[in-house]
Structures are given as structure tokens and as C-alpha cells.
């Protein structure tokens, strides 16, 4: 298939198709005409794909040849955005700061003061007085359990009380 004048080839295929569509409504089409319509409808999508591919390649060639004629526009847009995003002056405690280094120092010291760890007084446990257990009370904590103590404790538990952190209440156990 030659790539010369594909849009004209597409137009020449579409015009008989329109004639056949008009004829289909009035009369019955012959077998040859139906076969020709099928050939045309199969050929149009392939020609369209070729035309799209060629157009894409031609646009790339033009871009390479002319080397992006819009670059001046895009660079001016980027420069304007850079100018709008820059900080030219800054008012700090009633003083106007200008130029790069003074603004840099003010901004840096501002954020350093917010994120720097500050020394603060934190109470220790040295001077706290805790209640202590007597020797008898402490020995009661390590006493062995009897089977009767365990049974009594288990049977006295209500099985429908609030669940544990895992979501299971005592009745499940």
C-alpha cells in the first residue's frame, strides 16, 4: 500500500459506501454489492490507522526539524512562574528584609526555633514517697492458689460482662 494521499483514498471509499447505504433502503442489494460493501468496511479502519500513524510520524519529524518553535513561550511561562514563587522581601518584626542571604537567615532561624529541642525542667522520681507493703502483706502476694479458690473465682464471674480487649467475654471461656 502506498502512503501517498491516504485521506483522498478514504474519501473515495466513503462515497460509494454512502451510495450503497442509500440504495439499501430503497432496493435490495446484489451479492456483488454486498461483497463490495464488506470490502470497503474492512479497508476503511486499516487506512485510518495508517493515516493516523503517518500523521504522528510527520508531526515528530516537524518537531525534530524545527526543534520546538514553542520553547520560547514555555521558557517565558516557567520564568514567570519562578518569579511569582520567589520571595523578594520579607517583613520581620517591623523590619523589611531584602536579598537572598538575610531572607535565608531569617527563615532558617524561624524554623530552627520551632523544631529545636528546648531544655525544660522535668521532675524526677528521687523525691517521691511510695507506700510500701509490710513483710506479711508482701508474702501474701506470692501465696499459692488452691483449686477451691480458682473454682470459686470462676463461678462467681458474670459471663455477660464487658469483653476483654480481644473482644471475647468471660462466658466464651
Same domain, 146 and 171: yes
Same domain, 105 and 140: no
- Domain count for the chain, please give it: 3
Beta bridge partners of 98: 89
Residue 171 lies in a domain: yes
Same domain, 26 and 62: yes
- The 3-state DSSP class for residue 158 equals coil
Residue 124 lies in a domain: no
DSSP secondary structure code for residue 146 in this structure: P
Per-residue confidence (pLDDT) for residue 46, from 0 to 100: 84
Same domain, 69 and 103: no
Neighbours of 19 (CB within 10 A): 11
Same domain, 111 and 167: no
> What range defines the domain where residue 141 resides?
133-173
Residue 128 lies in a domain: no
pLDDT digit string (tens) for the chain, length 173 residues: 556 778 788 778 777 777 776 665 556 777 777 788 788 788 888 888 888 888 888 877 777 676 666 677 778 888 888 888 888 888 888 888 888 888 899 999 988 888 887 777 888 888 888 888 899 888 888 888 889 988 887 777 776 666 566 667 766 66
Residue 148 lies in a domain: yes
Residue 139 lies in a domain: yes
Residue 94 lies in a domain: yes
Region of residue 93 (left: phi > 0; alpha: psi -120 to 50; beta: else) = left
Residue 120 lies in a domain: no
Amino acid at each position: 500500500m502506498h502512503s501517498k494521499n491516504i485521506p483522498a483514498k478514504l474519501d473515495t471509499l466513503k462515497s460509494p459506501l454512502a451510495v450503497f447505504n442509500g440504495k439499501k433502503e430503497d432496493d435490495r442489494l446484489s451479492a456483488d454489492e454486498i461483497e463490495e460493501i464488506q470490502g470497503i468496511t474492512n479497508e476503511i479502519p486499516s487506512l485510518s490507522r495508517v493515516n493516523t500513524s503517518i500523521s504522528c510520524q510527520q508531526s515528530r519529524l516537524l518537531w525534530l526539524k524545527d526543534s520546538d518553535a514553542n520553547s520560547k513561550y514555555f521558557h517565558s511561562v516557567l520564568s514567570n512562574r519562578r518569579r511569582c514563587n520567589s520571595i523578594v522581601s520579607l517583613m520581620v518584626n517591623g523590619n523589611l528584609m531584602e536579598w537572598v542571604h538575610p531572607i535565608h537567615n531569617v527563615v532558617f532561624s524561624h524554623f530552627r526555633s520551632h523544631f529545636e529541642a528546648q531544655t525544660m525542667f522535668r521532675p524526677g522520681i528521687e523525691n517521691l514517697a511510695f507506700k510500701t507493703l509490710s513483710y506479711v502483706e508482701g508474702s501474701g502476694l506470692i501465696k499459692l492458689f488452691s483449686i477451691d479458690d480458682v473454682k470459686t473465682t470462676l463461678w462467681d464471674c458474670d459471663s455477660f460482662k464487658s469483653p476483654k480487649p480481644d473482644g471475647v467475654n468471660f462466658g466464651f471461656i
